[in-house]
């Protein structure tokens, strides 16, 4: 079994910053891709950013230049640095990882989500 545990969410004023963390643990051989998604009330879950083992990244257009995804492969942890936050960034943020558990099979795992609220 693999568990993903997010932390770092909270309430922040517009223009502020937050850093989310997501640590993976359990039966992990390697982690190929780690991603952050978000879901606002009444909306679908959307991809925010992704990062592969080698460090290449991709971002949703709405967060480019404001958010930075990074990872510590030794700690099986992914981060999301969020700057210049806007009210429309308010959502539950979910961590997702494609985990190879034995050198052969990979599965997708999700964290429980962490609430980010941007409001004055």
Helix (H, G, I), strand (E, B) or coil at 116: strand
Q: What is the mean pLDDT of residues 22-44?
A: 96
| DSSP string computed for 36-92 | EEEE-TTS--EEEEEEETT--EEE-GGGTTTEEEEEEGGGTEEEEEE-S--GGG-EE
Please state, in angstroms and as integers, the Cα–Cα distance from residue 106 to each residue in 48, 53, 64, following that order. 22, 14, 29
Tens of pLDDT along 64-114?
999 999 999 999 999 999 999 999 999 999 999 999 999 899 999 999 999
Q: Could you give the dihedral angle defined by the CA atoms of residues 73, 77, 81 and 87, in that order, rounded to the nearest 10 degrees?
A: 150
SS3 at position 13: coil
* pLDDT averaged over every residue in the chain: 96
* Confidence (pLDDT) at 54: 87
């Amino acid at each position: 079994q693999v568990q993903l545990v997010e932390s770092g969410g909270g309430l922040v004023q517009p223009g502020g910053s937050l850093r989310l963390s997501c640590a993976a643990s359990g039966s992990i051989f390697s982690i190929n891709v780690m991603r952050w998604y978000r879901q606002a009330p009444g909306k679908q879950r959307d991809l925010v950013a992704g990062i592969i083992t080698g460090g290449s990244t991709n971002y949703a257009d709405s967060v480019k230049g404001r958010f930075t995804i990074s990872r510590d492969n030794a700690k099986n942890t992914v981060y999301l640095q969020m700057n210049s936050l806007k009210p429309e960034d308010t959502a539950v943020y979910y961590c997702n990882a494609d985990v190879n558990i034995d050198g052969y099979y990979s599965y997708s795992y999700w964290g429980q989500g962490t609430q980010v609220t941007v409001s004055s």
